[in-house]
Amino acid sequence: MRGVRKAFNIGMPNEAEVLHGIDLSLARGEFCAVMGPSGSGKSTLLNIVGLLDRPSSGSLRICGEETTQLDDHALTRLRGHSIGFVFQYHNLLSAFTALENVMMPMLGDAGFFNDRMAERAADLLGRVGLSRWQDSRVGQLSGGQQQRVAVARSLAMKPPLLLADEPTGNLDTQAADAVFDLLRQANRDSGMAILFVTHNPALAARCDRTIRVVDGMLAGAGQASGVPQA
């Protein structure tokens, strides 16, 4: 992204600019932590990178494609193919099984479930250590198990970019480490780039580099990753 600004409530008395001209490049396969105080703009930044919200100005290229002129349909398509999401509140469908939740993103292309999707979902659940639970409704799983289902779901479309907004925020240390290890593994196995918002310095230290959002701006260049910039 280049010169990305984001204002809310434009033209209203409570208009506020939250991002003030962000320049950020994420290399293919780079695992980048995003830190910063509460309210500094981290989630707003992720929502823009994830094509869930549009910048007020500036440019944003995802996988080589300039996105700011795309219509909603094209953005949805690009998002579905290129970007996976894991959130703190993981938006799983609690009445559905773990397997069904992991298959959900695959539904977009075909419009119906098939055996191949079920096999792939079962494989992903195996990778996050949940084979035993694949037919359990996610509402019956623990918080850490649900977050692992969410990680498996985010990997379903093999996205080149994964956005993780405090995915370990409401987990105890052991569960948080397990979820982080899964993201690290997926990053190494498939070369997906990851933006990982966290308030946990120990986890940030295990990423390739850390950027800090302070008052809607990037503070410093962060720690060099050794990964060439795209």
CB nearer ligand ATP, residue 42 or residue 130: 42
What three-state secondary structure class fits 200?
coil
At its nearest, how many Å lie between ligand ATP and the CB of residue 24? Answer: 15
Selected binder of ligand ATP within 40, 146, 147, 168 (CB under 6 A): 40
Selected binder of ligand ATP within 2, 23, 25, 39 (CB under 6 A): 39
Picking from 77, 86, 79, 64, the residue whose alpha carbon sits closest to that of residue 195 is: 86
CB nearer ligand ATP, residue 9 or residue 174: 9
83-87/2-8 β-pairing:
unpaired
At its nearest, how many Å lie between ligand ATP and the CB of residue 225? Answer: 22
At its nearest, how many Å lie between ligand ATP and the CB of residue 201? Answer: 14
CB nearer ligand ATP, residue 148 or residue 212: 212
Residues in CB range of 129: below 8 A, 6 or more apart: 148, 178
The values of phi and psi at residue 229, to 5°, are -75, 140
CA angle 56, 161, 43 (to 5 degrees): 45
43 binds ligand ATP per the rule CB under 6 A: yes
Amino acid, single-letter form, for residue 144: G
200 binds ligand ATP per the rule CB under 6 A: no
Amino acid, single-letter form, for residue 68: T
**Which one of the spans 39-47, 92-100, 106-114, 175-183 is the region binding ligand ATP (CB under 6 A)?**
39-47
| Per-residue mark of binding to ligand ATP, 5-34 (x: CB under 6 A) | ---xx--------x----------------
38 binds ligand ATP per the rule CB under 6 A: yes
The answer to whether the CB of 214 falls within 8 A of the CB of 37 is yes
At its nearest, how many Å lie between ligand ATP and the CB of residue 31? Answer: 19
193-197/83-87 β-pairing:
unpaired
**Which one of the spans 41-49, 117-125, 135-143, 182-190 is the region binding ligand ATP (CB under 6 A)?**
41-49
212 binds ligand ATP per the rule CB under 6 A: no
The answer to whether the CB of 207 falls within 8 A of the CB of 187 is no
Selected binder of ligand ATP within 36, 50, 84, 159 (CB under 6 A): 36
Picking from 170, 54, 27, 146, the residue whose alpha carbon sits closest to that of residue 96 is: 146
Q: Round to whole Å and give the CA distance between 202 and 128.
A: 22
| Long-range contacts of the stretch 223-228 (C-beta < 8 A, 24+) | 225/27, 225/30, 225/32, 227/27, 227/29, 227/30, 228/27
44 binds ligand ATP per the rule CB under 6 A: yes
Positions that interact with ligand ATP (CB under 6 A): 8-9, 18, 36, 38-44
